Structure 1
Amino acid sequence: MKWTQKGHQYDDLGKNFKDKNIYIYGAGNIGKYCFEQLYFLDCVDAFVDRSLEKQKRTFCDKPVLTPDVLFKEHMKDHIIIIAMDSCEWVGEVERRLLLSGYIKNVDFFFYKDFIPNPYNDDYKDTFYIRIYSVYAKNKIYLDSTAVFPSSACNLKCKYCLAFTPHIKQHRIKTLVECKREVDVFFQWVDYVRWFQISGGEPLLWKDLNSLIEYIGEKYRSKIGHRFELVTNGTMVPNDELLQLLSKYEMDVVVDDYGTNYGNMRNECSAIKEKLEECNIPYHYNRVSNWVDLGFFECDNTGKDLVEYYDQCGIPFNTNEYGKIYSCAYCDFAIKAGLIEENRDDYFDLNEELTDRAKKEFVEFTLGYSNRGYSTLCKNCYGWIETINKNFVGVAEQD
């Protein structure tokens, strides 16, 4: 999307959130989950529940109020989050709120529309919490980011989404550089639900353990349930790394490429065994095909690239030296020397942090920029989940 009111794109919605705290309707497990997700904002004043027993005590150290406080008159100084899954009860609460003058998705929200879905890591369900955070509390909530200590890899996948085979000189960062880019990120971002360390193959990087310890000690409380390390399944983590993964409650993405490992061995079974021994959660990723971005074949000349970018909706951003790229694949193509970087491809967190800049950054992470698209759009089929239906074999070695 093209900026039309840079730093003010969501003012109309934001004004509704300004200076308002939250009531959570439902003092149960889902209500507790919502409270935990919102804790960094210090915005929950109370729970609401029809249970007389629950009203006699606190829940998450907050009072539990009778629903009458909402239904007898339109309470305009709080946002209501309905924290329950029973369709019957959700419908009844919605009906009562509507009759009392509340407006859906303005005054009250179903919890899955407002905060991350606890059962599905869907990047598209956190719009409202991002807007609420910056307008109500002047804080930044981000879905995800990834850091790349090194682009070096021990495989040479023909259709690598990071364009690794085309990199003439690998970018291998120092520990100081990685610490700096993480520090800059968290100077801006108050909470990120998904923080990934990837590559290349990150286990090749000599300072990986030190970086994990640094992030874990300084910023673990600012990272959600997915503090994540990605590996291509060729290297078994050593004991020191396993201890750190456990200590900082990390999980591991284990990519299994089957028999396509070239001169390397598939160590996925050994990796999973080690992780299970240490009770470290992991995501075992074995797919039947890969998406093909089609850089060398795709020509989008003549297309409306702003509309194309909006349709793609790529949710993956990356952090390179404190510059946040709106499209991870664009960042990879730039690193590989395949395209020239444009100032609109990234938001620079090294620049001055102001209240307006915070709103501009949130808008950027939601798809806005001066051009309205990334440089790679000219030669890319797009993200797999939306517009790209071109597939190739997994990890075919070049």
Structure 2
Amino acid sequence: MKWENRGSELEIIGAKMKQKKTIIFYGVDEQTIEIFRKVEFLRCNVIFCDGNLAGQSIGSSIIYTLDEILPKLLQKESFLVITTDDREEQILLKKKLILKELKENEDFFEAGVFERVYLPLWAYYSYGKCYVNFINHIPNYTCTLKCKNCSASIPYLKQKNPDVEQMKREIDLFFSKVDFCYTYDCTGGETFIVSDKLVEVLSYLLQFYGDRIGKIAITTNATVIPTDNMLRFLAEHKDMLDISISEYQTVSGWKEKCDAFIDTLNAWKIPAYLVKASSWIDFGFRETTLRKDNQEMEAYFDECGNFCRAYINGKLYYCGHGHWANSAFYSKEGLDDDEAINFRDENLTKSMILEYNLGYVQNGFLRICRHCKGWGTRNKCHIPVAEQIEDNRVKVREV
């Protein structure tokens, strides 16, 4: 969306959200707990509703039936988030709420839509808080592999790694304007190449801002065993960590290294999970221009929904994948710094950060959109996993 009224794009919908002070969860399961963790920092009123569990408790809260909470919902001072994964139950519930003259995306929401769009709106307009769901703060631009179609364009970048003090300053700058970030992602490159540096950075993050993040995410290719210092940190803070291992079975020698990596984590009782993929998608960044018309690019951008915000040198880039590709392949066309928001800008407000995160950008699209085939399921260009540029041997590149 084209950013024309900075700081005021969402005033109308914000005024409606401002009236709501209580959140009601319909359905009590793992998704409910995760969303609850995302709103907990607001210290808001929370009600749990589940007909199958009515009368029981979750923590210190009683679980109610729908009929018991409907009068409160009809007062228009609360809203309901549907977290049950039973599709038939969702349809019947929506029908019942609509017959009570309640409106979807105003009085009740599907969980995914609420998390992506309305939670940040509610946090700002009802509580004056700036909520960011995800950022990637990259600590390392080197990797043990040279994946031809790396989503971060790592093999093609000539980027200098930030030092510890720089990353600490950037963390301070970020939280000078953001009240809560649910997922603080510190994925490289191969993150564990810089294990000891990362311990210092993450220790600082948790010491000063641990109550303002939901979790720290790290994705690894499992080819580098973390140092004992790093392993000790991961074990001590495992409740705050989300460690995922990308599967690269097609790379010769990877399985043996991954097995050793998992054995090491198990020995330290550090949880992690394996992310399997039968194929990757090809963003098409290295290809010739796919589209030139500005209106076409605006429509394409609005439909994309990429969630990966990259935080680099005090600037937030809407599409991390696009920023890295632009730096690697299209810098002669002009760097994309003007498409980012600068946290050093004294005029940058919380409402501007909110709008940017929800897809308001300077031109209504990013320049890299000309070269991109899209994010997620809309991209049908599937390619082999982790195809290497030179060979299939696992070799640690010089750092």
Range into which the TM-score falls when normalised by the shorter chain: 0.7 to 0.9
Q: Distance in 1 between matches of 2:145 and 2:165?
A: 27
For residues 87-126 of structure 1, the aligned pairs below 5 Å read 94=94, 97-115=97-115, 126=116
- Change in Cα spacing, 1:97 to 1:241, as seen in structure 2 (3 Å) is same
For residues 302-321 of structure 1, the aligned pairs below 5 Å read 302-303=292-293, 304-321=296-313
Report if the CA contact (8 A) 2:310-2:320 is conserved. yes
- Name the SS of the counterpart of 2:176 in structure 1: helix
Q: Kindly state the Cα deviation for residue 372 of structure 1 after the two structures are TM-superposed.
A: 1.4
Q: What is the aligned residue count?
A: 381
Write the letter of the residue equivalent to 1:41. Answer: L
Superposed CA deviations along residues 27-57 of structure 1, whole A, max 9, x for unmatched, are: 95566555433211111155567799849xx
Q: Kindly state the Cα deviation for residue 299 of structure 1 after the two structures are TM-superposed.
A: 1.1
TM-score by length of 1: 0.83
Report if the CA contact (8 A) 2:323-2:336 is conserved. no
1:396 corresponds to which residue? 388
1:269 corresponds to which residue? 259
- Name the SS of the counterpart of 2:378 in structure 1: coil
| Stretch deviating more after TM superposition (247-256 or 233-242) | 247-256
1:21 corresponds to which residue? 21
- Name the SS of the counterpart of 2:22 in structure 1: strand
- Name the SS of the counterpart of 1:361 in structure 2: helix
| Stretch deviating more after TM superposition (12-21 or 105-114) | 105-114
Q: Distance in 1 between matches of 2:257 and 2:72?
A: 62
Write the letter of the residue equivalent to 2:3. Answer: W
- Change in Cα spacing, 1:376 to 1:35, as seen in structure 2 (3 Å) is closer
Q: Distance in 2 between matches of 1:175 and 1:361?
A: 25
Q: Kindly state the Cα deviation for residue 319 of structure 1 after the two structures are TM-superposed.
A: 0.5
- Change in Cα spacing, 1:50 to 1:215, as seen in structure 2 (3 Å) is same
Residue 200, structure 1, aligned to residue 189, structure 2:
yes
Write the letter of the residue equivalent to 1:358. Answer: K
2:124 corresponds to which residue? 134
2:346 corresponds to which residue? 352
For residues 49-68 of structure 1, the aligned pairs below 5 Å read 54=55, 60-61=59-60, 67-68=67-68
2:251 corresponds to which residue? 260
Q: Could you tell me the percent identity over the aligned residues?
A: 27
Q: Distance in 2 between matches of 1:157 and 1:127?
A: 33
Q: Kindly state the Cα deviation for residue 378 of structure 1 after the two structures are TM-superposed.
A: 2.2
Report if the CA contact (8 A) 2:73-2:80 is conserved. no
For residues 66-77 of structure 1, the aligned pairs below 5 Å read 67-68=67-68, 70-71=70-71, 74-77=74-77
Report if the CA contact (8 A) 1:216-1:248 is conserved. no
TM-score by length of 2: 0.82
Q: Distance in 2 between matches of 1:393 and 1:81?
A: 37
For residues 288-367 of structure 1, the aligned pairs below 5 Å read 288-303=278-293, 304-336=296-328, 338-339=330-331, 340-352=334-346, 357-367=349-359
| Stretch deviating more after TM superposition (95-104 or 148-157) | 95-104
Report if the CA contact (8 A) 2:136-2:310 is conserved. yes
Q: Kindly state the Cα deviation for residue 61 of structure 1 after the two structures are TM-superposed.
A: 4.2
- Change in Cα spacing, 1:39 to 1:388, as seen in structure 2 (3 Å) is same
- Name the SS of the counterpart of 1:188 in structure 2: coil
Report if the CA contact (8 A) 1:73-1:100 is conserved. no
1:370 corresponds to which residue? 362
5+ residue gaps, structure 1: 116-125
2:397 corresponds to which residue? none
